[in-house]
Amino acid sequence: MKSHRKPGAWTFFRQWLKNPLRVAAVAPSSAELAAAMIAELPDDARRVIELGGGTGAITRALLDAGIRDEDLLVLELNEELHAHLHVRFPRVPVLLGDARELPRLAAEQGYLGAGKADAIVSGLGLLAMPHPLQRDILRAAFDCLHERGVFVQFTYGPAAPVADAVARSLGLRVRRGDFVLRNVPPATVYVYDKA
C-alpha cells in the first residue's frame, strides 16, 4: 500500500522537535503553499535561489515549474535536512550554510558566475528572528538578486514576516500574496522587492 506522507515528513518533524526555533514549522510545506510561492515568481524567472530547503517540497515544485537543476540553488542550515535534500535532488546544487553568508557561498559554488538570481524563495522563520538578523539575511539575499528580482517569503503569523523598520532600512517594498489555508499551519505569502 502506498504511503500518502510527504517525502521527509518524519525527518522534518524530528528536526522541529530538536530545535523548534530553527525549524519554523512542524510539517513540510503543502503543494498549495508551494504553488502560491511559485505564482509570485516573475514570468521570465529562470534562475532561483531557495533559502531553507527543508525536505524539498518547494524545491520539487520549482523543478516541476521548469526551473532547471543548474539554475536552482538551495541553501539549508540544518545538517540532516541538507543531507536529505542532497540525496533527493542529486543534480541540484544544495549548500549547507547560513543565509547571511549567501553571497559568499553562492560565489564559491559558482552559481553567481552565470549571473544573479531572478528570484529568491524563502521558508526561513523570519518573523521569529531579531531585526538585525532579518536585516543581515535580506541584505545578503538582495546582493544575489537582479535589481528587478523578488524575494518571496511565507509566514505563519498574522503580520508581515519582515519588520517594517528593516524593510525601510533596506529600501524594500512589500506586497501581500495569497493566504494558503491548506497548509499546516496555514500560511501567507509576501513578496519583497526594491522600491
pLDDT tens column, 6-18: 555 445 444 444 4
28-194: which CATH architecture? 3-Layer(aba) Sandwich (3.40)
Contacts (Cβ under 8 Å, ≥6 apart) of 192? 138, 150, 151, 152, 153, 162, 167, 172, 173, 174
pTM: 0.87
- What is the per-residue pLDDT for 195? 81
Contacts (Cβ under 8 Å, ≥6 apart) of 155? 126, 127, 161, 187, 188, 190
Peptide bond into 185 cis (omega under 30): yes
Contacts (Cβ under 8 Å, ≥6 apart) of 11? 55, 80, 81, 84
Task: Dump pLDDT digits (tens) for 70-95.
Answer: 999 999 999 999 999 999 999 999 99
- In the predicted model, is pLDDT for residue 20 greater than 80? no
Task: Dump pLDDT digits (tens) for 162-182.
Answer: 999 999 999 999 999 999 999
- What is the per-residue pLDDT for 178? 96
- Residue spans of the domains in the chain: they are 28-194
Task: Dump pLDDT digits (tens) for 108-166.
Answer: 999 999 999 999 999 999 999 999 999 999 999 999 999 999 999 999 978 999 999 99
- What is the per-residue pLDDT for 28? 78
- In the predicted model, is pLDDT for residue 27 greater than 90? no
- What is the per-residue pLDDT for 32? 95
